[in-house]
Amino acid sequence: MISSLLIANRGEIAVRIIRTCRELGVRSVVVHSTADAGSLPVRMADSAICIGPPLAKDSYLNVPNIIASAVLSRCDAVHPGVGFLAENADFARSVTEAGLIFVGPAAETIDLLGDKIRARATATSLSVPCTPGSGGAVDESTAAEAAGTIGYPVIIKAAAGGGGKGMRIARNEAELLASVPIAKREAKASFADDTVYLEHYFESPRHVEIQLLADGAGNVVSLGERDCTVQKNHQKLIEESPSGALSGEMRTAMETDAVRLFRELKYSGAGTVEFLVAEGRYFFMEVNARVQVEHPVSELRSGIDIIAAQLRIASGDGLGSTAERVVPAGYAMECRINALEAGTVTGFTPPGGFGVRCDTHMETGAMVPPYYDSLIAKVLVSASDRAEGLVRMKRALGELRIEGVRTNRDEQLAILDSPIFRKGEYGTELYRRLFEEKK
């Protein structure tokens, strides 16, 4: 087992990793910016190292400082967490070149999957159904012909992208020709790569992903699916499992395709295959070559500590007992609590009780800095079924108290109370229908 781990991240995911390190007897070292000097993960870790000023480019994206911190603190391995450098192949390569273990897939795998066009081509070669698309990069001179073949509406996507950046929807040729140069500029600004491609745009699909663990030797285990359909501007708000959008037959087929893809890639670590479900079919969208924010949903249903599994796989211990087929049980849901402004949390009380989990780095007196992601807490519940889970989540959100900064908690409660969500008859347009159309 890895004996000393550097955590190259912040916030609730850093706290999450530190907790597993404690249970496994692994020394934890967390890096931080000056803005996070007084944060909970800095106090919880066995050791903390300041790597730069508040802006992420000078701290959490400062690869030389992070590698130097890992080497000087005598760590065996580096865990990238989520966001920042988690899917950066050059960072993974720098970690291994420094003689350290990167807790995640090989740099070559991240390179392949980070290019959405190449990832689609790989999935297609394995007969995994993909959303109808351009098959390659487009520009102002080729986009119209590709869209004519695909069929409108289409969505323009950044090949190196994610998180909704560089995306534009076009419902006719005029919109397409106006949007392509904008999408290319956004992609260049966000990812230093202006390559874009086209996919058919489904107006209101479901977004379902399969959580996988793999050991790099072809052994892959699925921890079931998560439904991430409730989104705002392509950012997930609520995740639940199992998904009400899948029949038993579709679930089995989707899971089989995801496992086959990871086996072919000789994938190592935790990762997720994302699909769109529309018109009675499912379509491959992309692979997230890292642990995801919503991984606790799968932990609650499978009983598997995904962070511990990552560390064991990175240590060369393989899947161990998780190599046996996992049968997820019950129901689980996560609501993401986002801060709507920077400031000081003057009062904080997390929810608790039977079947409730709250992953957070917040506490009374904590700062919400303006420099990073707005996620400040993840409220999770487990239950025997969805009806029980909805009641429990409403109770948990009602108990959550965050004072001093505005959050989206009340918005989450409104979603839970909406008839369309409770009936399960919705797609990715749910947020717009509930909030934006009323304005």
Catalytic residue set: 290
Amino acid letter for position 230: V
Amino acid letter for position 339: A
Strand order through the sheet with 101-102: 47-52, 27-33, 4-7, 77-79, 101-102
> For residues 69 and 65, what is the distance between their CA atoms, to the nearest angstrom?
6
Choose among 286, 291, 275: nearest CA to 159. 286
Residue whose entry in the numeric block shows the structure tokens 């698309």: 133
> For residues 19 and 40, what is the distance between their CA atoms, to the nearest angstrom?
12
Instruction: Provide the token pair at 67.
Output: 């590698």
Torsion of CA 211, 214, 218, 220, to 10 degrees: -40
Residue ranges in 129-223 assigned as alpha helix (H): 143-150, 173-191
Choose among 270, 304, 305, 300: nearest CA to 384. 300
Rounded to 5°, angle at Cα 410 from 409 and 414? 120
Amino acid letter for position 335: C
User: Checking DSSP bridges between strand 331-338 and strand 281-288, what pairing results, if any?
Assistant: unpaired
> For residues 136 and 89, what is the distance between their CA atoms, to the nearest angstrom?
21
Residue 198, phi then psi, degrees to nearest 5: -115, 145
> For residues 394 and 410, what is the distance between their CA atoms, to the nearest angstrom?
10
Q: Give 289-307 as a 3 state SS string.
A: CCCCCCHHHHHHHHCCCHH
Amino acid letter for position 331: Y
| DSSP conformational letter for 424 | T
DSSP codes joined into one string, 350-376: ---STTEEEEE---TT-EE-TTS--EE
Residue whose entry in the numeric block shows the structure tokens 């004996």: 3
